[in-house]
Amino acid sequence: MKKKNVKSPNYLDRIPMHKECIGWSVDNEGKVILEIENKGVFNRFAQKLFKKPEISYIHLDEMGSFVWPLIDGERDITILGKLVDEHFGEKAYPLYERLAKYFQILDSYGFISWSNK
For residues 91-104, average pLDDT = 94
Higher pLDDT, 74 or 21: 74
pLDDT of residue 51: 79
Residue 63 contacts residue 69 (beta carbons within 8 Å): no
Largest CA distance in the chain: 57
- 3-state class (DSSP) for residue 100: helix
pTM of the entire predicted model = 0.81
User: Which band of pLDDT confidence, cut at 50, 70 and 90, is reported for residue 13?
Assistant: confident
Task: Flag whether pLDDT at 11 surpasses 90.
Answer: no
What is the tens place of the pLDDT at every residue in 43-72? 777 778 887 888 889 999 999 999 999 999
Distances in Å between the Cα of 113 and the Cα atoms of 17, 20, 29, 86 are 5, 10, 27, 25
Residue 77 contacts residue 14 (beta carbons within 8 Å): yes
Residue 44 contacts residue 36 (beta carbons within 8 Å): no
Task: Please list the alpha-helical segments (H only) found in 52-94.
Answer: 62-67, 77-88
By the 10 Å C-beta count (0-12 exposed, 13-18 middle, 19+ buried), 45 is classed as: exposed
